[in-house]
Amino acid sequence: MKAINGLRYLWHLYKQRKASPDSFINWLRFANPGMLNEGNIYCIEYATENLPSDNPIIEIGSFCGLSTNAISHYLRKANRANRLITCDKWHFEGTENQGSFLGSSDITHEQYRRFVKETYIRNVGFFSGKLPHTMECFSNDFFDLWDNCAAATDVMGRNIRLGGPISFAYIDGNHTYQFARDDFLNVDRHLETGGFILFDDSADYYTRFGVNRLVREIKKMDRYELIIKNPNYLFRKTNYF
């Protein structure tokens, strides 16, 4: 099975489309830690160039801000005015005991969580000219706020009114099936016709993640069109209902 998945990975790597050359992205990736598949960059560029409206873009899971800064950059490049709103609790899978240590170090997971959050704030403050709004919460709590058009305060102390239609969602939160499905259903309620969803770590060779099971289900839905598998899945909504 590992050999088969390895061959799938190499095949998708060979086939994947890449974004147009961009020196900013190259420099960003040198300095901004994070995990951003080359194919995702192409999908982000495609989605931002083809947004159906000026409605907000949502990112679930921000880590150190690499994908956040990439989305901000391609919005600027496409001369789009869409607000970028992200959420992250910076509580990572498998770190339920925040007082435990990172391996044999004397650094706790809580200290690591705070460090990553502070790194995120510094990175987006430096690289994103128009700062995104970021809510420090789990995605289900974020969508409770969104559903209620709530007034909220982001991690930089700025006030924002949430809610309304969404034009593009980048889902990179908890990769288990149930959490990814919850994120999809939450986005689906608000995603406008013509809007996009990009699922990180949804490639066919990521069989250990529940996200791939989810995207195979979405492929069967009449109201979603698969735009590209690169190797992660980018969908466009074709019908609101």
Per-residue pLDDT tens digits for 179-210: 999 999 999 999 999 999 999 999 999 877 89
CA–CA gap between residue 127 and residue 240 (Å, rounded): 35
Q: Alpha-carbon distance 188 to 191, whole Å?
A: 5
Cβ density class 49-79: b for 16+ within 10 Å, e for less: eebbeebbbbbbbbbbbbbbbbbbbbbeeee
Domain residue limits, the chain: 2-237
Count of CA atoms in the C-beta half-sphere (13 A) of 3: 0
pLDDT tens by residue, 28-43: 999 999 999 999 999 9
**pLDDT tens sequence across 68-124:** 999 999 999 999 999 999 999 999 877 778 889 999 999 999 999 999 999 999 999
Q: What's the Cα-to-Cα distance from 199 to each of 47, 119, 150, 169, 188, rounded to whole Å? A: 13, 24, 26, 9, 13
Q: Tell me the backbone φ, ψ of residue 153, rounded to 5 degrees.
A: -120, 130
Instruction: State the average pLDDT over residues 161-180.
Output: 96
**CATH class of the region 2-237:** alpha beta
pLDDT 10s digits, 6-15 = 445 444 544 6
